[in-house]
Amino acid sequence: MFQDQSFSIPVAHIDCHLFGNFQLQDRVEDVRKSTWAAVCAKRPAAFDGALLRMASYRVEGERLSIAASRTRFSAYVATRHPAFASEHPHADRADPLGLTAIVLTSDGKVIVTKRSLLADQNPGGLYLIGGYAEPGESDGPVDLFNEIAREVEEEISVGDVAPSEAVAVGLAYDPVFCHPELFLLMPSKSTAADIVSGADGAADRDEASELLFYSVDDILDDNGPHKNAALTWSFIKARRFLQLHLR
């Protein structure tokens, strides 16, 4: 775990380099096998996909450098609970890099999703748009903008976010599901109404039970329309990074 890092870094100044595969310690590997067997027993369609693990990062001025390796979803499931650190004090977590997109529409709204009640994490909570970065088959540079742009396309069918306008606004560690998260402000050329009306055909539209849009002022206002809603950690942290970016 690390302290929150607030910044305003253009995505062109983010370097992510992938090298090798992360290995769990033997004792934790046994936990992974048993945990994943239990998951598959409940959800036979569960997929143990490859994820990008953030091994380290460095912020220097307006540049963010990330060193990463490959891990798998099953390793994350076995190491994501808060008690893992005390149960295995000398073992490393899977730590997949999560990506949260703050999609800002052309008419000044922020797209907000309400998580499906069937979601593995934060069911029913207010969220934005995001997922986990995926590694390539070969070591080398990873384009994190492409990774988060893919999530935006899959969740709300928006493909007009431009890397020249996207800005990373913060990096934090999720204490609930235990992984690092990078937050990016991503302007779209589409209006909020166009996005909401056109999102039904998105490949992963069922990840959200409802699609909303709030003004930036509403997002930042503690007494805004989300006042009595269940807020995910990602939503709360995105609000804070957005406040710092805009001040």
The answer for residues whose C-beta is within 8 angstroms of residue 170's C-beta and 6 or more apart is 4, 5, 6, 7, 182, 183, 237, 238, 240, 241, 244, 245
How does residue 206 score in pLDDT terms, banded at 50, 70 and 90?
confident
Task: Please provide the average confidence, as pLDDT, over all residues in the chain.
Answer: 94
Q: How would residue 124 be classed by pLDDT, with cut points 50, 70 and 90?
A: confident
Structure confidence at residue 190 as a pLDDT band (50, 70, 90) = very high
pLDDT at position 222 is: 86
Q: Three-class SS string for 54-104?
A: EEEEEEECCEEEEEEEEEEHHHHHHHCCCCHHHHCCCCCCCCECEEEEEEE
* pLDDT tens-place string over residues 210-231: 999 999 999 999 888 888 899 9
Q: Please state, in angstroms and rounded to a whole number, the distance separating the CA atoms of residues 75 and 33.
A: 9
* Cβ proximity of 8 and 185 under 8 Å: no
Mean pLDDT of the region 111-126: 84
Domain range enclosing 227: 5-246
Mean pLDDT of 193-212: 90
- Which pLDDT value is given to residue 135? 95
The pTM score is 0.96
Q: Please tell me whether residue 23 adopts helix, strand or coil conformation.
A: coil
Q: Which residues touch 240 (CB under 8 Å, ≥6 apart)?
A: 4, 6, 170
CATH number reported for the structural domain that contains residue 14 in this entry: 3.90.79.10
Which residues, in sequence order, are CB contacts of 33 under 8 Å at separation 6+? none
pLDDT of residue 57: 97
Residue 123: predicted pLDDT? 81
Query: If you average pLDDT over residues 22-50, what whole number do you get?
Result: 95
Domain count within the chain? 1
How many other C-beta atoms are found inside a 10 Å radius of the C-beta of residue 25? 12
Average pLDDT over residues 38-64: 95
Residue 120 pLDDT greater than 80, yes or no: no
